[in-house]
């Protein structure tokens, strides 16, 4: 569920890595956990670092782990060459609908992590997507880092209102 939040509350869904062919298509590395979501997207905002451009998606194809996008009105390699490394953003209302117990990583980062006893354990710094389950990277009070599996045995509650995650430290985890 790797989606980044930006200062406008938008979520990053991909990064343009390079052009694809000569007809204006771009190869995008998806930064969302479900690349199929691009089929449903009609538009994105391209953030080049210097400007923000609304882009209408005209075509979507898939190639290995990449998404090939064609933007309306951009019909040659020269039109899109300058957008390499551009971030593709969507507004929250265009983001995928979350299921129960699913969260955007961007919303979890910075959450206070506490143990079941109410003791402060640290702050959530990152979420790593592994094959089986996500892993929470927690900056601990003592300056060390802890890796906690995002499974029901370990993560007991996530309170998005208070930005607080309650965890059970399983034997042998630390």
Question: pLDDT digits over 85-110, tens only?
Answer: 999 999 888 777 777 777 878 788 89
**Is 131 or 48 the better-scoring residue by pLDDT?**
48
**Can you tell me the mean pLDDT for 44-52?**
93
Domains of the chain with bracketed CATH = 4-94 (2.40.30.60), 109-167 (2.30.30.240)
- Structure tokens of 20? 């694809």
pTM over 0.85: no
* pLDDT of amino acid 78: 95
Flag the least confident range among 39-48, 62-71, 87-96.
Answer: 87-96
How many other C-beta atoms are found inside a 10 Å radius of the C-beta of residue 59? 12
122, two tokens: 């640290």
61 pLDDT tier (thresholds 50, 70, 90):
very high
Mean pLDDT of the chain: 88
pLDDT for 3: 46
| Contacts of residue 10, Cβ cutoff 8 Å, sequence gap at least 6 | 45, 89, 90, 91, 92
Max mean pLDDT among 9-18, 73-82, 124-133 falls in: 73-82
Question: For residue 58, which of 76, 31, 39 has the smallest C-alpha distance?
Answer: 39
pLDDT at 143 over 70: yes
Q: Any idea which residue has 């979420």 for tokens? A: 127
């Amino acid at each position: 569920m790797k989606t980044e939040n930006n200062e406008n509350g938008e979520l990053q869904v991909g990064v343009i890595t390079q052009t694809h062919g000569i007809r204006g298509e771009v190869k995008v590395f998806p930064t969302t956990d479900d690349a199929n979501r691009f089929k449903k997207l009609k538009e994105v905002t391209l953030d080049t670092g210097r400007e923000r451009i609304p882009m209408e998606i005209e075509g979507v194809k898939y190639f290995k782990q990449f998404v090939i996008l064609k933007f309306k009105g951009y019909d040659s390699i020269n039109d899109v060459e300058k957008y390499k490394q551009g971030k593709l953003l969507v507004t929250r209302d265009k983001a995928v609908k979350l299921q129960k117990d699913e969260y955007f990583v961007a919303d979890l980062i910075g959450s206070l992590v506490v143990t079941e006893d109410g003791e402060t354990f640290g702050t959530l710094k990152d979420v790593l997507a592994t094959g089986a389950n996500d892993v929470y990277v927690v900056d601990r009070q003592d300056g060390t880092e802890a890796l906690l599996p995002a499974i029901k045995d370990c993560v007991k509650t996530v309170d998005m209102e208070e930005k607080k995650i309650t965890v059970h430290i399983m034997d042998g985890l630390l």
